[in-house]
């Protein structure tokens, strides 16, 4: 399967712990996006990369959140000192480098903070 993959698919953690999620985009896609989706809501934009450069960050991305894409391939999203409000589905998407291209989404990582 050559789609977007995310790991892990589910994560349960205790409040205050750090968690890290991984996203592997479609191989020829230069752009990679992170979104967060809470129950009953549409996804909300967090951040996006063009190759290894992080070009935009949402105000939702507090200083406890950090995202990287070190070699312009896979990306990681880390949440430090998790809070119950961080419980959500974290979605990754990728797209080719042209403007306005379709974004292809992965299956998501569902995070539950106890």
> Rounded CA gap, 74 and 109, in Å?
15
> Rounded CA gap, 75 and 92, in Å?
9
Q: Does 70 bind another protein (CB under 8 A)?
A: no
Q: Exactly one of 12, 18, 51, 56 binds another protein (CB under 8 A); which one? A: 56
Residue 26 · residue 83 · CB < 8 Å: no
Q: Does 77 bind another protein (CB under 8 A)?
A: no
User: What is the number of other CB atoms lying within 10 angstroms of the CB of residue 96?
Assistant: 14
Tell me whether the omega of the peptide bond preceding residue 26 falls within 30 degrees of 0, making it cis. no
Q: Does 28 bind another protein (CB under 8 A)?
A: no
Q: Which stretch binds another protein (CB under 8 A): 13-21, 43-51, 62-70, 77-85?
A: 43-51
Please, which residue, 67 or 108, has the CB nearer to another protein? 108
Name the DSSP class of 87: -
Q: Exactly one of 27, 28, 40, 85 binds another protein (CB under 8 A); which one? A: 40
Catalog residues that contact another protein under the rule CB under 8 A. 4, 31, 33, 35, 40-45, 48, 55-56, 58, 91, 93, 95, 99-100, 102-108, 110
């Amino acid at each position: 399967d050559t789609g977007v993959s995310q790991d892990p698919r589910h994560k349960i953690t205790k409040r205050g712990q750090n968690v890290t999620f991984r996203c592997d985009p479609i191989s020829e896609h230069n752009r990679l996006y992170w979104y967060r989706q809470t129950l009953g809501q549409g996804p909300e934009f967090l951040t996006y990369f063009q190759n290894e450069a992080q070009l935009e960050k949402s105000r939702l991305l507090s200083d406890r959140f950090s995202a990287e894409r070190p070699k312009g391939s896979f990306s990681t999203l880390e949440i430090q000192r998790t809070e119950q409000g961080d419980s959500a589905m974290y979605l990754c998407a990728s797209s080719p480098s042209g403007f306005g291209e379709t974004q292809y989404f992965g299956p998501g990582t569902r995070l539950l903070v106890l």
